[in-house]
């Protein structure tokens, strides 16, 4: 690795598995001291152990980001303490994906999904960005989703939260960019961990038929894009949503 994040500190929410874990591992491999965060302490400890075994620096901070300002501020404070009082990078990755139809969505589910997917990163950013600016700058990367712009039948609630995050990305870039804090987003496509040899095709693979990539992506592909946006290589990139979706949203799909 090239040490692109050498000396940097980072908090990655929802990083005890899948995309968040891949981001935390990629950051640590490039020299960052990473706070791994999530609700499951056992999985978090395993991610930290793996990072340390590979020679990286990581700590686990438990957090249940329910959307309350208190939970987001508590994570900001505890993560900042674990990182020595300075946070250079924040990745708003944590999210939930209940997918009932609109008519079947009750208020409790609605509030839960907006709480985790929008309110929690909103108040976490509110707690972190001013401190980043006061310390001389930083980078925030949000996670969107391809279905925010190319809808699927059962995704109204979830896709609307990711649309909100893409809008917040641009608004925060305008608000915090002049203070030295870059804000961007990555919009993943259909992402699945590598399947065991001989496994049956995943239903998500059907949605990638006819795309330029022709197959699903892996968490590592998202991690590499987030790493670039968080690094100084993207110092002139503000308010951008990077589609990492195999061409699903940007290219006409010709079904086979």
Query: Residue 105's pLDDT is what?
Result: 95
The answer to whether position 256 is within a domain reads no
**158 in catalytic set:** yes
Note the pTM of the prediction, 2 decimals.
Answer: 0.95
The answer to whether position 136 is within a domain reads yes
The answer to whether position 169 is within a domain reads yes
Parent domain of 92: 9-244
The answer to whether position 119 is within a domain reads yes
Query: Residue 220's pLDDT is what?
Result: 97
The answer to whether position 250 is within a domain reads no
Q: Which H helix or E strand runs over 87?
A: none
The answer to whether position 2 is within a domain reads no
Q: Counting Cβ atoms within 10 Å, is residue 50 exposed (0-12), middle (13-18) or buried (19+)?
A: middle
Output the CA angle 153-166-233, nearest 5 degrees: 130
CATH code: domain of residue 36: 3.40.50.720
What are phi and psi for residue 251, nearest 5 degrees? -130, 140
Give the three-state DSSP class for 18: helix
The answer to whether position 255 is within a domain reads no
The answer to whether position 131 is within a domain reads yes
Across the chain, which has 256 residues, the per-10-residue mean pLDDT values are 92 97 98 98 98 98 97 98 97 92 95 98 98 98 95 91 98 98 97 72 81 93 98 98 95 77
Output the CA angle 143-98-170, nearest 5 degrees: 25
- C-alpha of 213 from chain center: 22
Catalytic residue among 60, 123, 158, 172: 158
Number of domains composing the chain: 1
Query: Residue 206's pLDDT is what?
Result: 83
Q: Counting Cβ atoms within 10 Å, is residue 91 exposed (0-12), middle (13-18) or buried (19+)?
A: buried
Query: Residue 198's pLDDT is what?
Result: 61
Query: Residue 166's pLDDT is what?
Result: 97
């Amino acid at each position: 690795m090239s040490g692109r994040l050498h000396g940097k500190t980072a908090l990655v929410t929802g990083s005890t598995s899948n995309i968040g874990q891949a981001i935390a591992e990629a950051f640590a491999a490039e020299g960052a001291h990473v706070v791994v965060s999530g609700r499951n302490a056992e999985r978090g400890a395993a991610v930290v152990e793996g990072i340390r075994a590979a020679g990286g620096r990581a700590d686990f901070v438990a957090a249940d980001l329910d959307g309350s300002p208190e939970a987001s501020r508590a994570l900001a404070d505890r993560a900042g303490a674990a990182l020595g009082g300075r946070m250079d990078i924040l990745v708003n990755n944590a999210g939930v994906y209940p997918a009932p139809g609109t008519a079947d969505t009750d208020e409790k589910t609605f509030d839960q999904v907006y709480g985790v997917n929008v309110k929690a990163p909103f108040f976490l950013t509110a707690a972190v960005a001013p401190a980043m600016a006061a310390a001389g700058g930083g980078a925030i990367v949000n996670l969107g989703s391809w279905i925010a712009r190319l809808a699927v039948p059962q995704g109204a609630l979830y896709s609307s939260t990711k649309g909100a995050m893409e809008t917040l990305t641009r608004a925060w870039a305008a608000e915090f960019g002049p203070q030295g804090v870059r804000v961007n987003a990555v919009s993943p496509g259909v992402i699945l961990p590598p399947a065991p040899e001989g496994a049956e095709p995943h239903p998500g693979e059907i949605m990638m038929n006819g795309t330029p990539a022709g197959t699903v992506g892996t968490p590592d592909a998202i991690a590499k894009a987030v790493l670039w946006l968080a690094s100084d290589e993207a110092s002139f990139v503000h308010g951008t949503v990077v589609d990492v979706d195999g061409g699903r949203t940007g290219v006409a799909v010709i079904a086979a």
